[in-house]
Structure 1
Amino acid sequence: MSSPGGTAGTAAAARSAGTAALAIAVSSFAVWQPWPVMGDTFLNLRWGGWPQGAVLFAPGVHTAEAGWLEDFPPTLARRLGRVAAAGVAALMMLMLYLVLARGKDQALAMGADVPTMAFALLDGVIAVSGTLWFLSWLRCRWPTHGVMLGKAARASYATYVIHPLVLTAVMVAFALVALAPGIKFVLVAAAGVAACFTAGYALTRVPGISKVL
């Protein structure tokens, strides 16, 4: 993605966003043929959601390193917000149509057909436009942060990588605690978030590992 700046930069940013959305749509449509979104997969890996995650992750790393979001055009951000809202509305209408036409159980049955293509396209549009709008909105309202939030931001990628292991450990630790399920859920969620970010930040302080995470 090129760095936005002025009218040309805004146009370039819009093209980059469109390219990312199209990449998600095409790759998702291809992956959904053998692995539908709600289908059963080995170890519940949900392959159908991987194209979106991969496409969002790769440009995300690049834009963060290049500072692409530092001067993201506010006008484009607002437009992307409207696009995301329209995409959500269109997706809801598509889902309603599929439920009425196929029934609730078969609404998300993916195939090489027009509804699946439309679903994949809307998925890409919402993912890219919604993400960019939300990031821009956050940066406009909280342009600065304190030391604690800065450390959490630095640890965010490491936290993402290790959170399944940490959360599993927290859940095992709470397994024998005699509490109501609702209360235990709240406690595990709070402790899990804190533990994940603490462990993630600790890893970023380890020489060698810090260059990767």
Structure 2
Amino acid sequence: MPFKNRYFIICFLVSLSAFSQNTLNSGLLPKIVLSADISDKTKSINTIESRFVIDEEYENISYNLVDMSSILSIKTGLNQSFNFGYLLRLRNSETIHRTFQHYNIIQQQLTYKLAHRFAFEQFYQEGFSPEFRTRYRIGFQKALNGEILDVKEFYVKIANEYLYDFTDLEIRLTPYLGYQMTRKNKLEVGLDYRLSNFINDCGENDLWFRATWYISIN
């Protein structure tokens, strides 16, 4: 069986397991990603993302938090790169600082692309001990028209991610539909499903509707 078929089957089984849980939180995750090439091998990536929670009991949507991050991406090979970044999270009266390191591998096939990301994160907050987390994500992307993605064409992107904070596991499944508006702009909309407290509890579900606008200024 081809790898991409096995990948779709795994994602489907994970989603079935996740939706069998009881607790479900939902909301909106709008995000803007602004990137700029510094040199042939380095890139600056800056993001801002807000979170709005849907309260089904009171039938309203409330602001929850905002994340602002800056990343320096360094290309180390034809299909490999390292990211070094900092994220500031503002949530009510809380301020959370996060530093992170990513190792990225992209496998470009004839008609689709596979992306692997290995990550290590550190969390710092006043009054709390530092926390650490590891992450692994595999992503699949394919143009819906033809073998390669052209301007004014749609594409699909599906990612499966595993996050471990040395006490418990979180699983994420993110199917997106993307549109390459111009050479420097693209838009992705889709779902971000998260199953947390996977090991020590019965599981907590989060289902977010995500919209991301990618802008390149080069």
Same structural fold, with TM-score higher than 0.5 when normalized by the shorter chain: no
TM-score tier after normalising by the smaller chain length:
under 0.3
TM-score of the superposed pair, with normalisation by structure 2: 0.20
Larger radius of gyration: 1
TM-score of the superposed pair, with normalisation by structure 1: 0.20
Tell which has more relative contact order, 1 or 2 (C-alpha 8 A, sep 6+). 1
Structure with greater strand share of residues? 2
Structure with greater helix share of residues? 1
